[in-house]
Amino acid sequence: MKAWVAIALTASFTATVHADPAAWTQAQKPFRIYGNTYYVGTMGLSAILISTSDGLVLIDGTLPQNVPLIETNIRALGFRVEDIKVILNTHPHGDHAGGIAALAGDSGAKVMASAKAAWALEHGGDNPNDPQYGMNAPYPKLTKVTVVQDGGTVTLGSQTLYMHAMPGHTPGGTGWTWRSCEQGRCLNMVYADSISLLSNKTYRYTDPTQPERLAGYRTTIATLRQLPCDILMVPHPDAIDFLGKLPQLQPDKPNPWLDTNACRAYADQAQANLERRVKEEAAKPVANHKGANG
Ligand SMILES: [Zn+2]
């Protein structure tokens, strides 16, 4: 809880944050989500593993201190950490990227990210353009990150993942999509980025000199609305009650996460976040803004 209290005290804008930091470091038994896609994160932070004909893809590393939990989860599923060939990231905040340096070191995997996320990953998340600049402790820096262009792809063996820029929560935020199959039935998997608009005291999404802040987030909402989407995963699983559906995962029952409306519902959440944030900023003119709300 301490981490959350610190964030709450330093944030001047409220935001609906679906996050319980006590759960961020709690072990979660790993499980198959669908086909070759697995959950290997903690109770409060997602890490997604995809097995291919040529090794493993891991998306997100969660916190630095969670690395042993994640590696234990990967092994519990019968995989080898050494077989992780590629590590991707949703966004370069410590709760999703903090463990990547150690995971890349242990596995020898190549780390790949959007250009803006790559810069942040190489600076331990210490990015002056980040809405949460100054609010989060830096994490271990990565020395080499391969840039994936917006709209680009990452292929490992038989599996191709598609990169979708999802700026807003961070400038370099990224969603990843791919197809996973079970008994010949292939579904559109979407690991969409966080959509909360939490920030430090000075960052303004409505800054007229930074029009890309609002425009970028609107593009993210539009992207979420049009993605082929059968199973949605997000960095903070509680944002969509992802783990709440786990007990319904039963043999011969419909997959509990199969919901072709999930991405549109998530886009609706993002739209509501945007409207609330714009109203809040309008109610707090820049001149009166310094020091507001402690
Ligand atoms: Zn974040």
203 found inside a domain: yes
- Phi and psi at 162, nearest 5°, equal -110, 135
pLDDT at residue number 284: 86
We report the CATH number of the domain holding residue 193 as 3.60.15.10
93 CA from centroid of ligand 1 (Å): 5
193 CA from centroid of ligand 1 (Å): 9
180 found inside a domain: yes
Classify residue 287 by burial, with Cβ atoms within 10 Å: 0-12, 13-18, 19+. exposed
77 CA from centroid of ligand 1 (Å): 27
pLDDT at residue number 19: 59
194 CA from centroid of ligand 1 (Å): 7
Q: Which residue has the tokens 């905040």?
A: 93
227 found inside a domain: yes
246 CA from centroid of ligand 1 (Å): 24
State the CB neighbour count (10 A cutoff) for residue 245: 15
236 CA from centroid of ligand 1 (Å): 9
Q: Which domain holds residue 22?
A: 2-288
293 found inside a domain: no
252 CA from centroid of ligand 1 (Å): 36
Per-residue pLDDT of the chain (294 residues; tens, 9 = 90+): 334 434 433 344 434 444 578 999 999 999 999 999 999 999 999 999 999 999 999 999 999 999 999 999 999 999 999 999 999 999 999 999 999 999 999 999 999 999 999 999 999 999 999 999 999 889 999 999 999 999 999 999 999 999 999 999 999 999 999 999 999 999 999 999 999 999 999 999 999 999 999 999 999 999 999 999 999 999 999 999 999 999 999 988 999 999 999 999 999 999 999 999 999 999 987 654 443 333
78 found inside a domain: yes
Reference 145, options 106, 103, 191, 114; nearest CA is 114
How many domains, in total, are found in the chain?
1
284 CA from centroid of ligand 1 (Å): 23
pLDDT at residue number 153: 98
241 CA from centroid of ligand 1 (Å): 17
The reply to whether the predicted model has a pTM over 0.85 is yes
257 CA from centroid of ligand 1 (Å): 23
8 CA from centroid of ligand 1 (Å): 14
183 CA from centroid of ligand 1 (Å): 36
Reference 153, options 171, 167, 174; nearest CA is 174
